[in-house]
Structure 1
């Protein structure tokens, strides 16, 4: 099993400049390779990793500044570009902007990386052309190093080691008969079918006020000025803390849910499509743009997709199964009698069935419906999206076939 280990680097001024230079070279190689691929596609031809790697060796003779970065790092950049183009299409891959892309580069050969423990809190790693770099020893590596990625977040550099732990995913969960459904929302981040509410405030009120003041200040500043760079750095420190809190919340919640449940069901939500802008075009302007923008911010703030990724990562260590079910009508269906009516959803938090009078928290009721849909998968052979034709319908009231 492969896992990541991330540590904070303590670089010297010279090493920090080297890392920035490596990142800039990798960005140039990425953008040049992407432009070459797009130009070939316009002509009806193809370009892939192998010829681009050969041309990279020739480019080093013409442009000596490319030799400053390790060869394996540049080759890995082209390999990542090739993988991205195969997954998203040549014209679907984004450029690496100097202003918006955080510098990062990867050393793909693990046997060239050496790690030594210096004490209780510090260690050092030997990386090609960087030499020995110190980092904060916050947790053991726990396996053999396969690769190392150096990246910058804000003003701080980090190193992430990909390690082989030497273990496999358990075949069965410690509690094989347990199951839970999770309903994700904008008011509460995650509500489980057992009635537990998982939520956290990721940004404090004073940070929100300061963030707005910095944004207003940023608009009035001249582009490219030193003061503007300071303001952008201050904004990045706030957003960085918010991102860290959201990541910690998702990992904490996912680990506990996966450890206690063998089956975890989620709504099959397309977060990227749901948070798309509603501004429209000049010919067809969008409708309710401001309301849609507020909803998009609320969805992204709760970290729906990040929670799903954290659950899948935690399930590798516990043996849990993560199932996605059809979200249609889960918030309008009574979990007790199965009656579907939009009027049963009285408000965001109140659910009262118009047929049997069953009352419950709306999010808990939806989570129970998702759990039941997931439980139908092992017996029916489907993903709980619809009732399988292999099994006769079962009455919710009696629990027997009609």
Structure 2
């Protein structure tokens, strides 16, 4: 079976969209409005998902177009929906439609009041205006929110296409999607250069050129404090104000860790794609690799503690985030990113091709057991070289550019007994279905 690959090279003449994230400084009224908009979007998402699941159970298909029409009718029956801009609610339904097409209706998650980070998106960039107020401050005009101040931490550098407001670690953040005028080159500046990247739990990334990329994302003091907060959290009462304070403190520490990991992945990806026209990664099923092995009461798992430690190490190194950073940075250099089958890459000798379990003597030592060869080097570098050599066997797994089911692939028959969007229990509950909707 041919290994799958993913290509990120968009071809010449394609403009690049990039994100600009800023920290907002909202007034109390604007903060309440943002929370209100996010709560309404959460209710629309959950109601739309509930309707889609009921529709699928009857063997029929539901998509964005009829739901958007029913949303307009629901706004007349439920006035509290009108507090949020119409295009924001429509964008929520578009996001739901895309998630259902990519992952399946019954695999899309509900937006929980306790677990979901509030967010919503303004899709119309022509309705937004950005002004710079000084060296450190700027402001953006958003529908129904008016002028909103933000920290000018980097230049905007392009025309706004959309804006996403989200809540992160005690602050509201605006992420502006801009068209920065950059164009993906038809060819890399150094054509013919190829590098393989081996991702590991000891070192985040090792290249076939012998370069090691790694750094700690949490300090010793932060790890100690986070552990104490976890202990306090386990002893606190669910739903109490004390538990909310503990969770906020934990999120504050983890936000710094996430930012450091993102900064590391971005810088590492920029260095790699600048020097290579082809980047080869392992086609790792990270979600399956980091799944719990606890099992059930009837069939308990084995070596659960060891597997839990491995899962934490995998997630801490940010394997998937590095892959996303590489695909994003490749748009500016014309680099192609492919993924190949990782089978036996750590056991195969990169010099002679001999495969044996005994070749890898330890985590870091590789020594070929072939009597004729005897090649020895760092095990991760050897695996990265095998990945680079396997690039010729990679094939595109993208197919056509369509994602999921086509909008025309509806069943011929129409389901009966379907509840319109506005008659959902979430909408009938009115103001009880969301946290705060003003006076």
The normalised TM-score by structure 2 is 0.84
Deviations 1:278-322 (A, max 9, x none): 122333322222211111111000000100000000000011111
Residue 26 of structure 1: aligned partner:
41
Residue 301 of structure 2: aligned partner:
286
Residue 378 of structure 2: aligned partner:
361
Residue 372 of structure 1: aligned partner:
389
Does residue 201 (structure 1) correspond to residue 216 (structure 2)? The answer is yes
Deviations 1:3-47 (A, max 9, x none): 111111111111111111111110011011111111112222222
2:137 is matched with which residue: 103, 112, 122? 122
Residue 390 of structure 1: aligned partner:
none
Of the structure 1 ranges 173-182 and 249-258, higher mean CA displacement relative to structure 2 is found in: 173-182
Of the structure 1 ranges 323-332 and 165-174, higher mean CA displacement relative to structure 2 is found in: 165-174
Residue 188 of structure 1: aligned partner:
203
1:109 is matched with which residue: 117, 121, 124? 124
Aligned mates of 1:277, 1:64 — CA distance in 2: 44
Residue 59 of structure 2: aligned partner:
44
Q: CA deviation at 1:250?
A: 0.3
Does residue 312 (structure 1) correspond to residue 327 (structure 2)? The answer is yes
List gaps (5 residues or longer) in structure 1: 386-402
Alignment of structure 1 residues 83-162 onto 2, 5 Å: 83-162=98-177
Residue 65 of structure 1: aligned partner:
80
Cα-Cα RMSD: 1.4
Aligned mates of 1:384, 1:26 — CA distance in 2: 36
Deviations 1:226-281 (A, max 9, x none): 11110000000011111111000000100001111111111111111111111223
CA spacing shift, 1:183–1:117, aligned 2, 3 Å: same
Does residue 74 (structure 1) correspond to residue 89 (structure 2)? The answer is yes
Q: CA deviation at 1:177?
A: 2.8
Does residue 296 (structure 1) correspond to residue 311 (structure 2)? The answer is yes
Aligned mates of 2:159, 2:99 — CA distance in 1: 27
Aligned length: 380
Q: CA deviation at 1:150?
A: 0.6
Aligned mates of 1:195, 1:334 — CA distance in 2: 16
Aligned mates of 2:377, 2:312 — CA distance in 1: 28
Q: CA deviation at 1:326?
A: 1.2
Secondary structure, counterpart of 1:166 in structure 2: strand
Secondary structure, counterpart of 1:172 in structure 2: coil
Aligned mates of 2:199, 2:39 — CA distance in 1: 39
Deviations 1:312-371 (A, max 9, x none): 000000111111111111111111111111101000000111111111000011111111
Aligned mates of 2:114, 2:364 — CA distance in 1: 42
Aligned mates of 1:61, 1:178 — CA distance in 2: 60
Does residue 17 (structure 1) correspond to residue 27 (structure 2)? The answer is no
The normalised TM-score by structure 1 is 0.92
Does residue 251 (structure 1) correspond to residue 273 (structure 2)? The answer is no
Residue 3 of structure 2: aligned partner:
none
Secondary structure, counterpart of 2:388 in structure 1: helix
List gaps (5 residues or longer) in structure 2: 1-15, 398-439
Residue 69 of structure 2: aligned partner:
54
Aligned mates of 1:282, 1:75 — CA distance in 2: 44
